[in-house]
Structure 1
Amino acid sequence: MNKFKVQNWFLPFRLAQYIILSVIVGIWMGYPNFMHFQFVLYSIATLSFSLLLATDYRHKLQHLTLFLIICQFVLEIVIESSIIYATGNINSQFSVLLILTIISASLVFRLIGTLLTASTVSVAYALIIWFGFGTDAMPRFTIHALQTIFAVGDSIFYPIFMHMLIFYLIAFISGYLAERLRKRDQELAEASSALQKAKLETDDILKNLNSGLLSIDRSGTIIFFNKAAEKILDYKEENIKGVACTTVFSERMPELAEILMQGIKNHIAYPRKEVTVINNRKESIPVGLSTSVLTEKGNQIRGVIAIFTDLTDAKKLESKVRISDQLAAVGELAASIAHEIRNPLAAISGSVEVLKDELDVSEENAKLMSLIVKESDRLTHILNEFLIYARIDRPSYNKVELLHLISEVLEIVYHHKSYHNGIKVNIESDESMIYVNGDEGLIKQLLLNLVVNACEAMGTDGGELTFRLAWHESTGLVEMYVQDTGPGIEHHLLKNIYQPFYSTKKEGTGLGLAIVHRVCTALDLSVHISSQMGEGSTFMVVFKKFVSQTDTDSISVEEYA
C-alpha cells in the first residue's frame, strides 16, 4: 500500500468493538483462564494501533500500523470464536460479533480485503463448530466429529451454511458501500483541494494587485481590502475589515464613503471618477476610482467593489508636460518679439542719454530721463533673458569639467549686483576634477541662474552659498547640489517655481528658474528642489559622467574577456 488511509470513524468503531468484547469477556464470562493470553495480546494490539492512528506517526509508520491492525483483527476473530464456543457454540447469540468485525474490516480494507476477512471468519466459525462436536474421550478435530455434524442433518448444517452466507453477504455489501464511500470522500477531498487552491490563487492575485481594491457588502461593511489599498488609503486591513465604510472613511475621505454607499442605496456605479483622500500625514492624495455594483438573482444588491489608483505621479507628470508646453510657447514668443523690440529700445535709451548730456534740463526732467534709461536697461535685460530662453533648443554635447565651470561662473557672479561680501561661498567635491557630458554654454547658463537666484534669495542679510558635488561610480551619475541659507520657499509654492514670469521676489523677472528648467529639459538632466522655511533651499541637478571612447572600449573588452 503506497498510501495507507482509513475512514475517520474507523478508530471509534474499533474501540467500541473492543469495549463490547471486554464487557462480554470480563463481566458476562467472568474472564475465563483459557482467554487470558489472547485477550492480553488483543489489548496490546488495540492500544498500539490506536495510538498510531491518533497521531501523525501513522503516515511515517504505515506498514507497522497496517500490521498491527491485521494482528488486531486476527486476535479479535480468535476471541470472538472463543466466546461463541464458550456460550453455546452453534446456538450462541454472540455470532453477531463476527459480523461487526467484517463491517469494521470494510472501513480499512478494500472489497477484496473485506471478502478475505469474511473467509477467515467463516473458517473460524466452522472450526469452532467442528471443535464443539468433539468429546473429552476423543480428539476434537477428527473425521468422526465432522461426520457427526453431517449426521445430525439440517438442524446443524443449514445454520452453519446460513451463517457463512450472511458473512459473505455482509462482507460484499459493507465492502461495496465502503468502497463507494471511499471514492466519494476522495472526490470531495479533490474538489475541496481544487476549490481551496483556486481560492488561494484568487486571493493571492487580488491581494497583490498594483491597484487598490476594496469591497463592501449590502450593509456597507468592508469585507475585502488588499495591500495596495492599505498603502494608498493608509489603513490596515485588520483594523477596518468588518467595520462599516462610513465609520472608517468619514473623517479623512467622506467622499469615498459617499460614493460606495450610493452604489448600495441607489445602484449607482462610477466607471471613472477622481476623488481626493487625506492620509495620516494630512497629505492630499488624488485617487482615480472605478466602482461596480454586485448583484444577485432578482437584481438584489450583494455589495460594491471599488478599484482605485494613486494619481500623484500622473499628476506630477501632467504638471511637467503642462509646464514644458508653457515654456515652449514662451520661447516661441520670445524668439519672435525680442529682436523687434531690442533694437528700437536701444535707440531710445541711447537718444535719451545724448539728450541728457547735451540739453540743459531741470532737475525733475533729468530724473525722468534717468528713469527712462534705467527702465530701458531693465527691459533690455529681460529681452536678453528671453533670447537665452528661446535659444535653448539644440544642445551640443561635449566633455565639460564641472569644477572649472563653477569657478568661472563665480567670477561672473562676484561682479553681479546681487552678490556682496556678506555671502560666503563653499565648494565641496569628492574629486579634484569631475567631467560630465553636456553643453558647456548651457550648463554655464544653468549655474549662473542658480547662483544668482541663491544670492537674490539671501539678499542683504547674506549667508552661505554651498556647491557640493558627488560622483556615484556604480551608476555613473554626478549629483550637484546648490544650497543657500535664505528664507526658503513655502511648500505650496514649489510647484510653480519653474513657470515663466513666476517669482517670489519683488524685482525678479520670473525667468531665472524657468531657464534652469528649460536647460535641464534640453540636456535631459534631472532637477529637484527641497526647501525649508527659515533654513534655505537646495537644488540638486543630476549629470551623466563623461565617458570617453577609450574608456568605453576598455569596458567592452573587460566584459567579453
Structure 2
Amino acid sequence: MNRSVLRFLRPSYDGPAAWLWVVGAARIAVLLLLAVGGGVVSVSAEFGLFLAGIYAAALVSSLWYLVALRREYSVSARLTWTQMFVDFGVVAVTISVTSGHSSVFTFLLVIVILEAGVLMGLVQGFLFACLSSAFMFFHFFSTAPPPDDPVMHWYNFLIQVIAFFFTAVISGYWNQRVSRMKQFQREILDNMNSGFLITDTKGIVLAVNRAACQVLNLVEGDVAGRHIEGIMRPEAGAECPVMTALRLHKDFASYEFRVNTGQEASKLLGLTTSRMRDARGHETGLIASFTDLTEMAHMRNELQKQDRMAAIGQLSAGLAHEIRNPVASIRGAVAELQRSTHSPEIVERLTAIALRESDHLNEIVSGFLDFARNPDHRREQVDCCAIAAEVKQQLELKYAHAPDLRIALHLPPTPCRVLGDPTQIRQVFTNIVQNAVEAMEERGGLDISVAMSRAVVEIRFDDGGPGIAPDKVSRIFEPFYTEKEQGVGMGLAICMRIITAHDGTIHAASRPGGGTSMIVRLPAMK
C-alpha cells in the first residue's frame, strides 16, 4: 500500500533539462521580489529578521537545486518535493504578512501550482491546488466579509479556487502529454536490436535504449547524465568517435572500432552518427546508433581465409588497372624518342620519364607480389623494444635535415619478446613510421611506445599529423588505397598481412585533439 502511494506521488518530468534551469533561475528572481515585498511591510525588527531567515533558507534551497541539476542533469524526487514545499511556504508567509487574501502576491500561488503540474505531474498539481485553496479559505474565513456585500467576498474566493484547479489541470495535462510521448519513443527504441544513445553538444548522455546498455554492459538507470567517454571507451585510449563527430561537426556512417566493455574481451562496434539541429540550424546534440559486429567479424575473417584465391583474383584486376597508366607513359615516351633523336634535351626528358615510370611499375608489381605471397616466416625470439630502437635510429639518420621533427621512444625496463620473423616485423615498423613522418610533412612529434599487457605486446605509433577521418580508417588497409599524390597504396596492406600471419592485430584510430595512433598487438612469447 505504502509503495503504491509513493509510486503514485513520484514526480514525473520528461521535458528538456533547459526548462529546469529556467525554472530555477525564475524561482530565485521571484524570491528576491518577495524578499523586497516582505521587507517593506515588516512591522518590527524581530519580525523582519524572521522573514529574512525564511527567505535566506529558500535561497539556499534554490541554489542547491541548481547545483544538483548541474551535477546530475536531473533532480531527485526528494529534492523536487522539498523545493516545492519551500516555494509554497515562502509564498504563503509572504501573503500572510502582506494583507492576506487581498495581498498583491496571491497570484504567486498560481505559479506554484503551475510549477508543480509541469515539473511533477497532474496529481501533484491537484495536491498543491488543494493546499492553496485551503490556505486561502483560512484567510477568507478569518476575515469578516463587508457587511454591505458579503456575497462578493466569497465570490472572490470561488474565482481563485477555480483558477487554482484550472492551472493544475492545464499544467498536469501538459506533463502527461510529454511523458506519454517520451514513453512511446522509449518503447520504440527499446524494441530495436541496435543500440541508440543521444548526447548533447558536450557529450553528456541524455537518453539510451536497452540494447545499448546490453552491448556496452551498462546498467540502464545509471547511464543518463554521464559523459559518453565514460561509457563508450575505445581500445588503447583512442578518442571516442562520438566526441570526434561533435568536435569535427561531421557525421560518420558504419565506422568500426573496438570498445572496452569491462569484460575480458573487447567488442567490435559499427557506429553511425547523426547530429541534431534546432529550427535555426544550431547543433543541439547527436544521435548515435551502433551494432555489435564481434561475431560478424569472426565470420568475416573465416570467409577471408577460405576465399584467399578469389581475393587474389580481384587484386589482379586492380593490379592491371594500376599497371595500365605507367605502361602507357613508357610507351608514349619511347614512341616520342623515335621521332626526337636529334634533340638531346628532349631525349633526356623522355628517358627520365621512362625510367621513373619503370620504377613505379616495379614498385606496383613488387608490392602486389609481397601482398599475394603467403607470408611464411621463420619463428624465432624477437625483442620488439630492440627493433623499435633500431627503427628510431634509422629514422633520425634519414631525416637529420628536418630540425622540426621530434621522435620519442618509450620502452619498458624489461624486453618485450614475441615469436616471429624479425625482418618482417622491422618492415612493419618502418612502414608505419615512414607514413607518420610523411603525414606530418617532416615536422611535429612522433611517439613510439612499447608495452606489455595481458600476455600481449603492444606497440603504439602516435603522430601529430592531420589524423584520419573515422569513415576512412577501415579503408587504409585495403590494397591500392592511398590518399598520397604519389603512392601505390600497398604499404599498410602488406603490414596487415604480416601482422595477421603473426597472429596479431593492427588498427588505426584518431587521437584526441588531432593526429593518428597506429596500434600493433602481437602475442607475447610464453
Which category of TM-score, normalised to the shorter sequence, fits these structures? Answer: 0.3 to 0.5
Task: Give the alignment's TM-score, normalised by structure 1.
Answer: 0.38
User: Relative contact order (alpha carbons < 8 A, sep ≥ 6): 1 or 2 greater?
Assistant: 2
Q: Which has the larger radius of gyration?
A: 1
Task: Give the alignment's TM-score, normalised by structure 2.
Answer: 0.40
